[in-house]
């Protein structure tokens, strides 16, 4: 308790410092009432506006002027009012949904009135549908920007979380908010996001449209910004030093700068022991490579390199392809397009119907194609496993990219075999080396190579090894937290 109190004293030395810091955020409001000679300070995303208007502003205007702060409190029909001066917990109270009231003639004494917004509770938002996890919170954003800002406000103490609001769109005038933590996020990243949003000249604004128009590279299938509906994921990216963009009318929040590893990290990794979390993360990377290269390797081996097939496996492959009249290339294209059609049809239909169509359609079409000698059963297994492996990617947009990459590699494998696959992978790697997200290399920490940043990329290291923020984000504060390892009480015996 003593340590927690010292932390609050360091965070908010006095109420004036808190008010100056909080005023940098667009959702922090200051009302100056001339007739009652009163000042009010509050976060608009955390209070109930109806209570403010009817039970606070109206009585203050009707019973003014006031001689002192006690006279003000008498006319406020709200039960929870705290009268204090230089309270180190005042900033925490404002962050919880209190309004600070003080006379303009008396800056030392103030009242904290509880007008917390209980109607717009945390359970009004939807659960995360596209980024589901078994372990951990399932709190997701909704289409209302005020609620989304409130959800993030509840994740952080103090006033370091800054929201800057913009209005974009010549026809829609959509509210867009830039969010960051002031003493952590690199100011260059904030200025880059701010400048790119100011330069937008659009008639209609939506989260996906913003993501595509402010990107560093438009001619790439890879998503350069992470778009998520999870509150815990956005809070984590803010703590690392990234910038977020919230768009009114969209349940997705854009975060950046992002690297390719961010799209394979699930929040569930941090709610499990590090060994288990690292195992699942490695499984995802294996699934990605299998999904991209499995069918191209099948085409390359059966078309150009059939001599490397083991004798024990050669018999089953010949038997399965004995009646197939098509070359491996057309066989693979047929099944891959069939899988994509089933995916698209299932996504466009209602949930229960789509799931049934995907399962039944896959079984029926797969069995029928084998019996009709349109494909081999060996390829059917490979394509099914490849499609299944692509679902291991936590972010939907990256999963779409992985689905797309298989087709050009299959074409190259059909034309040049293994050399074509290597050439395609080399071109893909060269393209990834050129990509940047808000000026940050997309392949970091591989390029530029930062060995210390591998602690939370390919694997999820124990928390005692992830005490610093990634160096490629260039945060203002390098250290995140400090771990005091416990000592066994029997070590000295």
- Provide φ and ψ at 30, rounded to 5°: -130, 125
pLDDT band at 190 (very low <50, low <70, confident <90, very high): very high
Q: What is the mean pLDDT of residues 233-257?
A: 94
209, exposed or middle or buried, with CB in 10 Å at 0-12, 13-18, 19+? middle
Residue 126 or 348, more confident: 348
What is the residue whose two structure tokens read 């962050």?
95
Residue 203 has pLDDT above 90, yes or no: no
Weakest-pLDDT range from 93-107, 141-155, 161-175? 93-107
pLDDT band at 359 (very low <50, low <70, confident <90, very high): low
- How much is the pLDDT for 86? 66
Distances (CA, A) of 488 to 150, 482, 492: 42, 19, 8
- What would the two tokens of residue 341 be? 């059609």
Could you give the angle at the alpha carbon of 181 between the alpha carbons of 180 and 186, nearest 5°? 80
- How much is the pLDDT for 354? 64
pLDDT band at 473 (very low <50, low <70, confident <90, very high): very high
Beta bridge partners of 492: none
> Virtual CA dihedral for 212, 217, 221, 224, nearest 10 degrees?
-70
Q: Give which of 94, 252, 113 is closest to 161, Cα–Cα.
A: 94
- How much is the pLDDT for 290? 95
Contact at 8 Å (CB) between 247 and 478? no
Residue 400 or 321, more confident: 400
pLDDT tens, position by position, 306-337: 888 888 888 888 888 888 888 999 999 988 99
Q: Which residues of 237-247 are buried (b: 16+ CB within 10 A; e: fewer)?
A: bbbbbbbbbbb
Q: What is the mean pLDDT of residues 426-434?
A: 96
Q: What is the mean pLDDT of residues 380-404?
A: 90
Measured distance between the N- and C-terminal CA atoms of the chain, rounded to whole angstroms: 31
CA distance 412 to 331: 15
pLDDT tens, position by position, 1-25: 334 444 444 434 577 788 888 888 8
CA distance 46 to 99: 10
Contact at 8 Å (CB) between 266 and 226? no
pLDDT band at 87 (very low <50, low <70, confident <90, very high): low
Q: Which residues of 436-458 are buried (b: 16+ CB within 10 A; e: fewer)?
A: bbbebbbbbbbeeeeeebebbbe
Weakest-pLDDT range from 11-15, 284-288, 421-425? 11-15
Residue 86 or 258, more confident: 258
Q: Who's near 316: CB < 8 A, 6+ residues apart? A: 378
Weakest-pLDDT range from 33-42, 141-150, 461-470? 33-42
Q: What is the mean pLDDT of residues 244-255?
A: 94
Residue 344 or 164, more confident: 164
Q: Give which of 189, 240, 187, 259 is closest to 478, Cα–Cα.
A: 240
Residue 246 or 489, more confident: 246
Q: Give which of 257, 265, 264, 260 is closest to 440, Cα–Cα.
A: 257
CA distance 256 to 262: 10
CA distance 292 to 294: 6
- What would the two tokens of residue 399 be? 């999963």
Could you give the angle at the alpha carbon of 206 between the alpha carbons of 200 and 209, nearest 5°? 60
- What would the two tokens of residue 260 be? 């390719």
CA distance 221 to 435: 11
- Chain mean position to CA 234: 5
- How much is the pLDDT for 39? 85
Residue 489 has pLDDT above 50, yes or no: no
Residue length, the chain?
A: 493
Weakest-pLDDT range from 99-108, 260-269, 393-402? 99-108
Contact at 8 Å (CB) between 33 and 60? yes
Most confident residue range from 136-145, 364-373, 433-442: 433-442
- How much is the pLDDT for 123? 47
Most confident residue range from 57-71, 109-123, 312-326: 312-326
- Provide φ and ψ at 175, rounded to 5°: -80, 130
CA distance 332 to 327: 9
pLDDT band at 353 (very low <50, low <70, confident <90, very high): low
Q: Give which of 208, 214, 210, 181 is closest to 195, Cα–Cα.
A: 214
- Residue 480, SS3 per DSSP: coil
Q: What is the mean pLDDT of residues 426-430?
A: 96
Contact at 8 Å (CB) between 48 and 118? yes
Q: Give which of 472, 470, 468, 492 is closest to 482, Cα–Cα.
A: 468
| DSSP code for 128 | P
Share of the chain above pLDDT 70, in %: 90
CA distance 163 to 181: 9
Task: Kindly tell me the sign of the dihedral angle through the C-alpha atoms of 291, 296, 299, 301.
Answer: negative
For all residues of the chain together, what is the average pLDDT? 85
Residue 125 has pLDDT above 60, yes or no: no
- How much is the pLDDT for 257? 94
- How much is the pLDDT for 30? 87
């Amino acid at each position: 308790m003593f340590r927690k109190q010292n932390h609050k004293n360091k965070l908010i030395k006095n109420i004036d410092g808190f008010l100056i810091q909080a005023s940098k955020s667009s959702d922090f409001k200051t009302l100056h009432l001339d007739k009652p000679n009163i000042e009010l300070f509050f976060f608009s995303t955390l209070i109930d506006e109806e209570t403010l208007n009817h039970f606070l502003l109206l009585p203050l205007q009707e019973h003014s002027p006031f001689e002192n702060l006690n006279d003000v409190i008498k006319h406020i029909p709200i039960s929870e009012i705290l009268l204090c001066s230089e309270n180190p917990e005042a900033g925490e109270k404002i962050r919880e949904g209190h309004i600070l009231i003080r006379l303009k003639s008396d800056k030392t004494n103030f009242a904290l009135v509880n007008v917390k917004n209980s109607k717009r509770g945390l359970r009004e938002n939807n659960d995360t549908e596209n980024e589901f996890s078994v372990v951990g919170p399932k709190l997701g954003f909704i289409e209302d920007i005020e609620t989304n800002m409130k959800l993030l406000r509840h994740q952080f103490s103090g006033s370091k979380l800054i929201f800057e609001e913009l209005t974009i769109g010549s026809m829609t005038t959509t509210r867009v908010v830039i969010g960051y933590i002031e003493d952590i996020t690199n100011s260059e990243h904030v200025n880059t996001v701010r400048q790119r949003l100011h330069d937008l000249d659009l008639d209609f604004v939506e989260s996906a449209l913003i993501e595509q128009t402010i990107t560093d590279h438009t001619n790439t299938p890879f998503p350069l910004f992470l778009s998520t509906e999870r509150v815990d994921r956005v809070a984590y990216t803010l703590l690392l030093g990234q910038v977020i963009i919230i768009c009114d009318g969209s349940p997705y929040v854009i975060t950046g700068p992002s690297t390719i590893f961010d799209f394979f990290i699930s929040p569930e990794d941090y709610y499990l022991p590090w060994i288990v979390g690292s195992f699942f993360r490695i499984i995802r990377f294996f699934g990605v490579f299998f999904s991209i290269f499995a069918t191209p390797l099948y085409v390359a081996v059966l078309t150009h390199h059939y001599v490397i097939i083991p004798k024990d496996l050669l018999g089953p492959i010949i038997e399965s392809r004995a009646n197939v009249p098509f070359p491996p290339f057309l066989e693979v294209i047929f099944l891959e397009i069939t899988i994509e059609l089933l995916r698209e049809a299932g996504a466009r239909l209602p949930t229960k119907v789509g799931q049934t169509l995907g399962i039944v359609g896959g079984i029926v079409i797969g069995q029928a194609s084998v019996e009709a000698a349109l494909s081999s059963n060996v390829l059917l297994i490979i394509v099914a496993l490849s499609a299944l492996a692509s679902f291991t990617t936590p972010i939907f947009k990256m999963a779409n990219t992985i689905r797309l990459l298989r087709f050009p590699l299959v074409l190259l494998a059909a034309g040049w075999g293994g050399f074509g696959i290597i050439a395609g992978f080399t071109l893909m790697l060269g393209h990834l080396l050129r990509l940047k997200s808000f000026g940050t290399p997309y392949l970091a920490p591989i390029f530029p190579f930062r060995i210390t940043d591998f602690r939370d990329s390919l694997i999820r290291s124990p928390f005692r090894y992830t005490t610093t923020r990634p160096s490629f984000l260039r945060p203002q504060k390098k250290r995140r937290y400090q771990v005091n390892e416990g000592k066994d009480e029997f070590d000295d015996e």
